[in-house]
């Protein structure tokens, strides 16, 4: 394997959990809900996925458990912000703190336990092609799922009637309710989808990226996914590009450390957030065009108001 191919493979590996989590958050925010609990949902997904896979001996069971864990935590979030109309920022932060603590409790008995990672796809004749075979036809199944999610969400938001309904509610939930659109139901489905994606991203971390469990293994990736949605101005293809850009920054940080180059790793760790701030500044200057954020993002909705 050439050096370039190896670097590209590590970039894809680092970008995949960011892409999956950010795509789920994109749908949630397009519906007008701000979910700051992604970090906690990813952590619980990683813990439950590894625990279920280890106890059952099946990676598929582990992935399913991680998705269900993300769904369960997102259902709690939905109950708070939709059923009780609580503040979305406070609720999301509370879910993150709870999720990180819960993941430590679930994974306490599995610290130091190793298991084989989910193997990459192998297609005879194609995976062995020189140069591009491993990159295109020999990736983890999660990579292909993440790309399919990006294309599916692009079609859903731009071409489907349900996607138009979701975007309309996200732009103005009061007008949507006046037109008879099921605001709370659509937002519930969006929140559950985002939680499932966060759980799936967590499963990737503990079953593929580093096939073991350790507390804090999400390492702020949920926050990077949130920044990525803003950086991409709420557009699926830009999320795809941004995920690989941020993943590349992560890989570059590791290579600079390995090469003992005197470049502060903290600067690369801050890159996703600095890039997001710069993107917001660029989108806000000049003709003062809209940043692309849904109009009702973060605003609670109560039908009788």
Q: What is the pLDDT of residues 6-46, one digit of tens each?
A: 888 889 999 999 999 999 999 999 999 999 999 999 999 99
Count helices and strands in the chain by DSSP H and E runs: 13, 0
Please check the confidence at residue 286 and state whether its pLDDT lies above 60. Answer: no
Residue 294 lies in a domain: no
Pairs from 114-123 (Cβ < 8 Å, separation ≥ 24):
114/211, 114/212, 115/50, 115/53, 115/54, 115/211, 115/212, 116/211, 117/207, 117/208, 117/211, 118/59, 118/142, 118/207, 118/208, 118/211
Q: What is the pLDDT of residues 69-109, one digit of tens each?
A: 999 999 999 999 999 999 999 999 999 999 999 999 999 99
**What's the average model confidence in pLDDT over 239-258?**
80
Distance between CA atoms of residues 226 and 26, nearest Å:
9
Angle at 18 between CA 15 and CA 23, to 5 degrees: 120
**Number of domains composing the chain:** 1
List the CATH number of the domain containing 273: 1.10.3470
Instruction: Name the average pLDDT for the chain.
Output: 89
CB 19 within 8 A of CB 150: yes
Residue 253 lies in a domain: yes
Contacts of 93 (CB under 8 A, 6+ apart): 36, 37
The pLDDT assigned to 273 comes to 76
Residue 293 lies in a domain: no
Q: State the pTM of this model.
A: 0.92
Residue 303 lies in a domain: no
Residue 39 lies in a domain: yes
Whole domain around residue 78: which residue ranges? 3-284
Residue 212: strand pairing partners? 114
């Amino acid at each position: 394997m050439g050096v370039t191919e190896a670097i590209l493979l590590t970039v894809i590996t680092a970008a995949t959990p960011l892409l999956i989590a950010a795509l789920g958050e994109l749908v949630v925010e397009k519906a007008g809900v701000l979910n700051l609990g992604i970090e906690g949902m990813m952590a619980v997904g990683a813990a439950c996925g590894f625990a279920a896979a280890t106890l059952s001996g099946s990676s598929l069971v582990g992935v399913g458990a991680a998705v269900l864990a993300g769904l369960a935590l997102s259902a709690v979030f939905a109950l708070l912000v939709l059923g009780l109309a609580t503040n979305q920022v406070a609720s999301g932060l509370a879910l993150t703190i709870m999720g990180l603590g819960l993941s430590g409790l679930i994974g306490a008995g599995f610290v130091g336990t190793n298991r084989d990672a989910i193997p990459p796809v192998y297609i005879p004749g194609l995976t062995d092609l020189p140069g591009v075979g491993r990159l295109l036809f020999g990736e983890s199944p999660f990579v292909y799922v993440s790309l399919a999610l990006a294309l599916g969400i692009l079609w859903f938001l731009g071409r489907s009637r349900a996607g138009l309904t979701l975007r309309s509610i996200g732009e103005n939930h009061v007008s949507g309710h006046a037109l008879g659109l099921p605001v709370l139901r659509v937002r519930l489905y969006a929140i559950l989808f985002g939680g499932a994606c966060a759980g799936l991203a967590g499963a990737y971390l503990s079953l593929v990226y580093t096939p073991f469990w350790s507390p804090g293994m999400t390492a702020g990736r949920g926050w990077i996914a949130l920044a990525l949605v803003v950086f991409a101005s709420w557009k699926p293809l830009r999320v795809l590009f941004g995920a690989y850009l941020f993943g590349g920054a992560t890989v570059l940080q590791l290579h600079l450390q390995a090469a003992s180059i005197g470049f502060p790793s903290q600067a690369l760790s801050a890159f996703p957030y600095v890039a997001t701030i710069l993107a917001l500044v660029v989108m806000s200057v000049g003709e003062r065009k809209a940043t692309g954020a849904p109009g009702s993002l973060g605003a609670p909705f109560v039908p009788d108001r």
